[in-house]
Structure 1
Amino acid sequence: MHDNQPPNSTPDTLPEVITRYLTGHRAHDTATAIAAFTREATVIDDGNTYEGVEAIGEWLDRSATEFAYTIYLTGAQQTDTTRYIATHRLEGNFPGGTIDLRYQFTLRDGLIERLVIEP
């Protein structure tokens, strides 16, 4: 199996705060997901930037209701002491039906300071 990932890139590579966010996001539990972010965190998704927990909460609520989809973690790796990449496959009723997205996390003080989501 060749996937160009380091051999230690398994979901347990991810810190608890990231898995807590991903679990909350998957369950459409905005309160749990938002608690994983710093107060002044930034999320960049689909070319849009959301700054601060209020804007991120609105983005989470909207993304939970805009399309119906399932999300699977397909890979995880740590790129340095504060940065992690979690690769997900989304399947649903959005244009295209299937997409692989890279969730690029930057942590500060045990919370998510920045999240960039892109193919």
Structure 2
Amino acid sequence: MANSPLAGCPDAVRAYMRLTTGGDRAAAMVCFAEAAHVTDDGRDYQGTGEIRRWLDRVAGEYTYTVTPLSARAGGVAGWTVVTCRLEGTFPGSPVDLDYRFDLDDAERIARLEIVAHDPHGGRLSRVPLVSP
């Protein structure tokens, strides 16, 4: 993983990206704080129960691959942002998405927002790239 864009990311971010793309959604749940909040495709999921159902639903609806392209950490509110290309059996494929992670004090995912990638940087333009 030394040459991966994820190399300098926090452990929970690397684990989430590795586990969810490898299909081990149950193991991915340990990355989340109990009261975590996920926003994906305009919908909100609160708590590990809803998040687990969301992961299961997405995995059942579509077949897709996720390729991390870049990662940025720190800066704006302590977010870690991983930009990925998703390709699969969903409308609009392929698409580049930003996974915006905010961790709690125990280094678990407290908030995850998955949004369309803004190539111009948008509100996170000053977040530095993660160094490998």
The 5 Å alignment of 1:45-60 reads 45-60=40-55
Match of 1:20 in 2: 15
Structure 2: 5+ residue stretches without partners: 117-132
State the identity as a percent: 36
CA contact (8 A) 1:11 1:76 kept: yes
CA contact (8 A) 1:28 1:61 kept: no
Aligned length: 111
For residue 17 of structure 1, report the CA deviation from its aligned partner. Answer: 1.0
Q: 2:8 and 2:79 mapped to 1: Cα distance?
A: 11
Deviations 1:31-89 (A, max 9, x none): 11111000000000000000000000000011111111111000001033731000000
Detail structure 1 runs of 4+ shifted over 2 Å in the superposition. Answer: 79-82
Does residue 94 of structure 2 align to residue 94 of structure 1?
no
Matched residue type, 2:84: H
Does residue 102 of structure 2 align to residue 106 of structure 1?
yes
What SS class does the counterpart of residue 114 from structure 2 fall into?
strand
How big is the alpha-carbon RMSD for the aligned residues of Structure 1 and Structure 2? 1.5
Q: Report 1 or 2 for greater relative contact order, CA contacts < 8 Å, sequence distance ≥ 6.
A: 2
Higher strand share: 1
TM-score norm. by structure 2 comes to: 0.80
